[in-house]
Amino acid sequence: MPDAQPHLEPFAPRAAPAELEDLRARLRATRWPDVPEDAGWTMGTDTAYLKELLAYWADGFDWRAQEAALARLPRFRTHLGGLGIHFVHARAAAPAGPVLPLVLSHGWPDSFWRYSKVVPLLTDPGAHGADPADAFDVVVPDAPGYGYSDRPAGPAPDSIAVAGLWARLMTALGYDTFGAAGGDIGSHVSRYLALDHPERVVAVHRTDGGLPHFAGDRAELSPAERAWFDEVTAWSAQEGAYAAVHRTKPQTAAAGLTDSPAGLAAWIVEKMRSWSDCGGDIERSYTKDEILTNVMIYWLTGTIGSSMRMYRANAAIAPEQLTRRVEVPSGFALFRGDVVRPPRAWLERTTNLVHLSEPEHGGHFAAFEEPELYARELRTFFRPYRTAAAG
């Protein structure tokens, strides 16, 4: 049943001093594993880099400064579906034409953090050298069990359920029609927004095509599609252990990662490095402050376990849902540094493809790695759909 006019409360969390002192004590008491000679990043997170990062976390990182920076975003909490939901709601600063509402959906291992750099570029393009007519009203929710949204007491919602929550959130904010965009799990959520609410979603933009699901004979696929299927299989065998843990035994990993900031950082940082366009040097894509802000949100909210459980929920989605074709106009920006990038033939098979670009720089977290490029992609793609949304 739809929520009746949910109450929206401004939200600016502030960590208690005792939480920060406890964190520093844990960091300084880290019990380090032995490391095979010359292991580097070949077996997971490089322990030498992790020691450097944790030393800075304990004695150099200024969480209060990062907390204040995040507080400059207009943030709110409301209740939907029995859960407290945290979200950014930033309105267009100086609109010069129809304003398109846009809901941005994040993935794992992140939160609203993924879009924190790009929000001002989208709401006030004129102040950043772009056309003021391309301004958006931007909504960036934390999925249940992520960031500052509530952790579900029962089973985690899957991407279909989260898409339904975001449709209700947009209604609560007064938006009948809107655009949707996202990557990683947020790509799935955006896909289901388009599938289940096509009368409201004017267009959908994604930075990946998800992992492939195909019910037919592989002989029907193009050579490029078959090669991509093989690439995904090889990638999953080499890189997919984390996802298998999330799907099957998330509570086992959650016990250690919730208790140990070193373990939490290792679990997240390895993915930030391997999925980014950093050439093996994570600090080409992020500063230590940026890395630790992402990790810190997980630490303070205790959401690593609840975020992983969404993989379990998504693994139970019925196959017929996974093979539905998106008929809403669809655009993709496949950033060159991302993983398992689908071929055009697959995107044409599975969506109403109207736009495909391949930016030269940026990876899985493109909205954070390359915010200017990402903002330009969204402005370009959604430009033809503004009048439809306004109407």
CA angle, 184 as apex, 242 and 282 as ends, to 5°? 70
150 catalytic? Reply is: no
What residues form DSSP beta bridges with 103?
A: 139, 180
Catalytic one among 110, 184, 277, 338? 184
Give strand ranges (E) for the chain.
9-10, 75-80, 83-90, 100-105, 136-141, 178-182, 201-206, 326-333, 351-357
Q: How far, in Å, CA of 91 to CA of 373, rounded?
A: 21
What residues form DSSP beta bridges with 140?
A: 88
Cβ atoms of 104 and 115 within 8 Å: the answer is: yes
Q: Which of 150, 3, 138 is nearest to 73 (CA)?
A: 138
Q: Tell me how crowded residue 203 is: count the other CB atoms within 10 A of its CB.
A: 26
Catalytic one among 146, 175, 298, 311? 311
Catalytic one among 146, 150, 364, 385? 364
Provide the CB-side half-sphere exposure for 299 (13 A, CA): 27
7 catalytic? Reply is: no
197 catalytic? Reply is: no
Q: How far, in Å, CA of 222 to CA of 203, rounded?
A: 26
**Which residues participate in catalysis according to the annotation?**
184, 311, 364
